[in-house]
């Protein structure tokens, strides 16, 4: 059994509950959500969209910054993720909408002051979504999102400096090879899925402008990395393994590391805007 696809496998209760627990127990989503919310300049906003909002980790950070009269719409295609979020996030200012990001305009009744998307733009039809974001934003409204360094083709200097020894993914491949005769796929240097040049072009085509971008480093630990790889959509290795087998492989690989060993991942953060004056 192959791992659940990272774009299509989210509407699964086990995945949703494991993911929601990760967002509560580890800092990654809290840190990245607060960073995006801060860049969106939300203090005077009335309507904000949390795009591909999952279980509501980013919506929570948005709600912490918007005025008490503001309204937040969290849109996601996975009902299971939203069920997990609704159980813990009950703010009356928040509305949950179940729909793909490409249908954003059908679920935002009034012009939005900002659209925020945490680590999910890569799995959408980017030109269609950017066009929908332009459609729902008021003139001058902000669109803020981030992309993992691998998808964007960027690497923060901290990630380069921190690389010592084998990664947990490499140890997983070794354990799978030792215990199951697994043959890892050949290492290839794939072209980045969404480099900044392509993002800028897509934004321009959609009628938005790039306000700024920054490569940031997310500092965490091997324990957090293990928890991340315990979420079914991210469990490794690929191939005909059950989830139980993947967890056995993960535990064996993790036993060769130190829980508090530092890890660093890179992110490209993008801030765009619908122009205040359009042709």
Rounded Cα distance between 174 and 171, Å, is 5
Q: What is the CATH number for 69?
A: 3.40.50.150
Query: Residue 160 falls within a domain, yes or no?
Result: no
pLDDT, tens digit, for every residue of 160-196? 887 767 889 999 999 999 999 999 888 777 789 999 9
Average pLDDT of the segment spanning 244-262: 96
Question: Tokens for 202?
Answer: 């897509």
- Note whether residue 210 is domain-resident: yes
Residue 3 reports pLDDT greater than 50: no
- Helix (H, G, I), strand (E, B), or coil: what is residue 260? coil
Average pLDDT over residues 139-154: 96
> Domains in the chain: how many in total?
1
Over residues 115-124, the pLDDT tens digits come to 999 999 999 9
Cα(201)–Cα(172) distance, rounded to whole angstroms? Answer: 38
Q: Which of 66, 102, 96, 84 is nearest to 14 (CA)?
A: 84
| Closest of 151, 102, 147 to residue 128, by C-alpha | 102
Contact partners, residue 67, CB within 8 Å, separation at least 6: 43, 44, 45, 46
Tell me how far CA of residue 257 lies from CA of 119, 170, 226, in angstroms.
27, 12, 10
Contact between 53 and 76 (Cβ < 8 Å): yes
What is the band of 5 on the pLDDT scale with cuts at 50, 70, 90? very low
- Domain assignment present for 45: yes
| 143 DSSP 8-state letter | E
Residue 58 has pLDDT above 60, yes or no: yes
Compute the distance between CA of residue 122 and CA of residue 133 in angstroms, rounded to an integer.
Answer: 15
Q: Are 102 and 78 in contact (CB under 8 A)?
A: no
Q: What is the pLDDT of residue 219?
A: 94
pLDDT value for 4: 44
- Reported as a single tens digit per residue, the pLDDT across 100-109 is 999 999 999 9
pLDDT of 249: 97
Domain membership of residue 38 (yes or no) is: yes
Q: Which domain holds residue 73?
A: 13-153+190-218+264-273
Please answer whether residues 271 and 213 qualify as being in contact, where contact means their C-beta atoms are separated by less than 8 angstroms: yes
Q: Tell me if 164 is assigned to some domain.
A: no
Residue with the larger pLDDT of the pair 33 and 2: 33
Q: Mind giving me the DSSP string for 195-258? A: -HHHHHHHHHHHT-EEEEEEEEEEEEEHHHHHHHHTSTTT-S--SS--HHHHHHHHHHHHTTS-
pLDDT over 90 percentage in the chain: 87
Q: How confident is the model at residue 251 (pLDDT cuts 50, 70, 90)?
A: very high
> Could you give the count of Cα atoms lying within 13 Å of 246 in the half-sphere of its Cβ?
23
Within a domain: 174: no
Q: Using one digit for the tens of pLDDT, what is the confidence trace for 220-247?
A: 999 999 999 999 999 999 888 999 999 9
The answer as to whether 108 is a domain residue is yes
> 75-88: per-residue pLDDT in tens?
999 999 999 999 99
In-domain check, residue 109: yes
């Amino acid at each position: 059994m192959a791992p659940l696809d990272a774009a299509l496998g989210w509407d699964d209760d086990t995945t949703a509950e494991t993911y929601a627990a990760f967002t509560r127990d580890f800092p990654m989503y809290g840190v990245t959500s607060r960073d995006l919310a801060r860049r969106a300049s939300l203090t005077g906003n009335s309507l904000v969209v949390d795009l591909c909002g999952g279980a509501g980790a980013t919506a929570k950070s948005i709600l912490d910054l918007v005025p008490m009269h503001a309204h937040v719409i969290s849109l996601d295609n996975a009902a299971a993720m939203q069920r997990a979020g609704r159980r813990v996030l009950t703010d009356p200012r928040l509305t949950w909408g179940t729909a793909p990001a490409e249908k954003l305009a059908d679920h935002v009744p009034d012009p939005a002051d900002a659209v925020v998307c945490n680590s999910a733009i890569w799995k959408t039809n980017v030109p269609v979504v950017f066009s929908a974001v332009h459609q729902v934003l008021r003139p001058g409204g902000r669109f803020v999102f981030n992309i993992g360094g691998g998808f964007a083709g960027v690497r923060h200097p901290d990630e380069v400096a921190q690389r010592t020894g084998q990664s947990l993914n490499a140890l997983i491949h070794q354990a799978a090879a030792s215990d199951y005769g697994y043959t890892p796929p050949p290492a290839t240097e794939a072209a980045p899925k969404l480099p900044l040049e392509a993002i800028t072009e897509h934004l321009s085509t959609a009628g938005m402008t790039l306000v700024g971008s920054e490569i940031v480093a997310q500092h965490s630990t091997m324990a957090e990395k293990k928890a991340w790889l315990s979420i079914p959509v991210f469990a490794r290795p690929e191939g005909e393994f059950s989830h139980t087998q993947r967890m056995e492989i993960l535990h064996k690989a993790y036993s060769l590391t130190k829980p508090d060993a530092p890890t660093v991942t890179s992110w490209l953060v993008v801030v765009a805007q619908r122009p205040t004056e359009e042709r």
